[in-house]
Structure 1
Amino acid sequence: MSSQRDGIFPDEVILQILARLPIESLFRSKTVCKLWYRLSSDKYFIQLYNEVAAKNPMLLVEVSESSGLNYSLICVDSWRGVSEFSLDFLKDRVKVRASCNGLLCCSSIPDKGVYYVCNPMTREFKLLPRSRERPVTRFYPDGEATLVGLACDLSTQKFNVVLAGYHRTFGHRPDGTFICLVFDSESNKWRKFVSFQDDQFTHMNRNQVVFVNRALHWLTASCSCILVLDLDRDIWRKMSLPDEVNYGSGNRVYLLESDGCLSVIQISDIWMKIWVLKNYEKEEWHLVDRVSLRCIKGLVPGIFPISQTCGYVLLATHKQVLVYHHKSRVWKVMYSVKNSSTLPLWFSAHSFRSTIFSCH
């Protein structure tokens, strides 16, 4: 990088400024001059932009109308506030099924089995080819995958979509056979492998899938363990939770990411405890914060942590989105539903970040 050019800022300063712009503003800035276009198109800058974005936890929420027929999408940004955006560029009525590193996996509502991967900030999308498995057997129940996962590797700009569920032949009950379909963006193909799983998943356990260390992680409904899918080897395995986690007796447990690490949050009537997996291979959990919930006591029964970094935690309730600042220990309301939404906000909230990630 050059240090100075005819009295203007050094290239590195310009890069740092551009890396903090919303993507829409960044794209507009490319038309300012050839230098800005070249700098913002460089691989180094794309890596820098995504690193800065990782420090800014965001929330994507599908807010339903009172009729339940329509919904709008909002993005709650701990830096820039609340903004609305649309997935109308997909030209389909969809539901967000998974979110990872700025990409969304959406399923078509009217057309079962149709999936898209899109970057809502750049309005790029990819329609995934249909799997050939569906005419033979079907996911149980309702033809929908029990688990939907999205794994996006920022370093390689490649992604995987995972559909997993209990299969049954027509006229028979499910026998515990767990079918997993994995879409690979590099080959543009699905692959399949079969295993046996006796774990159950609630809706919210399925919604909170975490991609770290080239694996997808789900919390089981009993909160007895974490189910891990190793995408490099196509192997399911189980990971233990922190020994101190106490599920039951009014405690609720959630699985999140924190600065590239796996994290567990336990919420009781008066405390929120946060663990981070500091050593992935040895499964060494560290308690990093213990937060009193007395100042938001009325909201605690319906509160749900969605996204976090070492600096913030974003949480959703039935009608509000809150942010908690670790350093100042201050709570702040970021968003409140103005109309009578039919579903609680946490029901359709996803962790999100604004990244430069191509779907193609």
Structure 2
Amino acid sequence: MDRIPQELALDILSRLPIPSLVQSKSVCQDWSTLTHDQLLVNKHFKQMVENDPSFILQIMGYSIQNQLYFGDLSSDPNDGNVTMIAKKLTIPPLLNFHLVSSCNGLLLLRATHPSFELCIYNPFTRDYIELPKLSRHDGVRGFGFDPTTKKYKVVEISYKRTTPFTFSHRVVRFGMRRSHQTETSSSSLIESEVHILTVGSPTWRNLGCFPFRFMWQKSQVLVNRKLHWRTTTNLIMSFDLATEQFKEVPRPDVITSNSDRRFHELVILRGCLSAVSFDGNNQELEIWVMKEYAVKDSWVKQFNIGAYVPKIFQSNYQCHSSSNSRFYLPKNCIQVLCLLRNGGILLQYGNKAIVFYDSHCRTFQDIQVTFEGISSCFTAVAHVASLNSTDTFVDA
């Protein structure tokens, strides 16, 4: 090891898949020391970001929900079939938990534990940190890295009702921006109460209330160092982790508060903020991509994906008509996972199937997901594995 220049050693190690890199720590003391080097952490992470993402899968089931798996895609060179082998991960000693989000190789877990409710966990280094409790009702959460302070932050948004009211026009101030929005209601206004925690701090901070209700999303959308949510009024709102302010993000012209077309979900596709919607009869899934962040005219409808039902569901669904062999699933059963380097899109259908969509040939291929010892319902989150920990940071 002494004969290899450190720069070359770092370059070699940075190209290893994360399981092999973790195993290399036991080769010798020098290699173990190198795996804690911040230069290697950053270099390895940047290499992984350029590749297709891996996935963290959580099994869903009353008796086995406390289990995480790491999934990597692989293709057979002979027939081109894509498979995912899901390998069991070691988990922290929690009574029960739910996978919330992933950021820089770290997972945010919502736990059932006597002393804490949230923790941050790296499933490969097995480091985890317990976060202070916050007395609140369940809402939506976000987790990200603040580049100005080099700290991680967790955002928790809960809801409360104010007194009954009726209004037709309201001027709302959020951050330093004024937004005019028209709403009519004769019931109680539901406001979002926002708390934020800088990881390492002993207490949460209350940022106040905002007149928006954010929609729960299966996976967080962290783009341009801002968290994003859609609201019940079909707006896109961002939260800047540095300034800790909300701001409305322009949406595609096809999506308006008064139109029948609404967002199904927000996603990240190769680093771009993207919006998923369905047409009026819910048969075609549209994906709009914001090519230049916060520029309204940069929204492009990049994908149109037709109706499809994976084989695992087909026995439970009848054909749409006697002359049409296609099957249909409700739109809320479909989640866009990621855009691959080859232009293909990974979709999750329900909690049982992952499908590869070839955007060039407009074909679908069911991906066989193989678990070690069990096969069950699952939820999947795109994940870039790293050696990162909460007391270091990835300079992404």
**Which bin holds the TM-score, normalised by the shorter protein?**
0.7 to 0.9
Superposed counterparts of 1:29-108, under 5 Å: 29-32=24-27, 36-37=31-32, 40-54=35-49, 55-65=51-61, 68-71=62-65, 72-79=67-74, 81-86=84-89, 88-108=91-111
Q: CA deviation at 1:75?
A: 3.0
Superposed counterparts of 1:1-360, under 5 Å: 15-32=10-27, 36-37=31-32, 40-54=35-49, 55-65=51-61, 68-71=62-65, 72-79=67-74, 81-86=84-89, 88-109=91-112, 111=114, 114-131=117-134, 134=135, 138-139=136-137, 144=138, 146-152=139-145, 158-167=151-160, 175-201=189-215, 205-222=216-233, 224-245=234-255, 253-268=264-279, 271-287=284-300, 289-293=302-306, 297-298=326-327, 301=330, 302-311=333-342, 312-318=344-350, 319-326=352-359, 331-336=364-369, 341=376, 345=378, 348-360=379-391
Secondary structure (helix, strand or coil) at the match of 2:327 reads: helix
Secondary structure (helix, strand or coil) at the match of 1:242 reads: coil
Q: 1:337 to 1:174 in 2, by over 3 A?
A: farther
Q: CA deviation at 1:85?
A: 2.5
Q: CA deviation at 1:156?
A: 7.4
- Percent of aligned pairs sharing the same letter: 25
Cα distance between partner residues in 1 of 2:54 and 2:142: 19
1:172-205 C-alpha deviation (Å, 9 max, x unpaired)? x97534221111025454211112223352xxx3
Kept after mapping to 1: 8 A contact 2:192/2:213:
no
Q: 1:26 to 1:240 in 2, by over 3 A?
A: same
Q: CA deviation at 1:255?
A: 0.9
Cα distance between partner residues in 1 of 2:86 and 2:147: 24
Q: CA deviation at 1:238?
A: 1.9
Length-normalised TM-score, structure 1? 0.76
Superposition CA RMSD, Å? 3.7
Q: 1:324 to 1:179 in 2, by over 3 A?
A: same
Q: CA deviation at 1:83?
A: 1.8
Cα distance between partner residues in 2 of 1:198 and 1:35: 53
1:106-129 C-alpha deviation (Å, 9 max, x unpaired)? 122365961111111221100012
Cα distance between partner residues in 1 of 2:200 and 2:89: 27
Question: Highest CA radius of gyration, 1 or 2?
Answer: 2
Cα distance between partner residues in 1 of 2:155 and 2:111: 16
Secondary structure (helix, strand or coil) at the match of 2:385 reads: coil
1:260-282 C-alpha deviation (Å, 9 max, x unpaired)? 32122335555443333222243
Kept after mapping to 1: 8 A contact 2:249/2:294:
no
Q: 1:332 to 1:52 in 2, by over 3 A?
A: farther
Secondary structure (helix, strand or coil) at the match of 1:45 reads: helix
Cα distance between partner residues in 2 of 1:279 and 1:182: 28
Secondary structure (helix, strand or coil) at the match of 2:217 reads: helix
Q: CA deviation at 1:166?
A: 1.1
Cα distance between partner residues in 2 of 1:153 and 1:95: 24
Kept after mapping to 1: 8 A contact 2:308/2:328:
no
Secondary structure (helix, strand or coil) at the match of 1:244 reads: coil
Q: 1:13 to 1:183 in 2, by over 3 A?
A: same
Kept after mapping to 2: 8 A contact 1:104/1:118:
yes
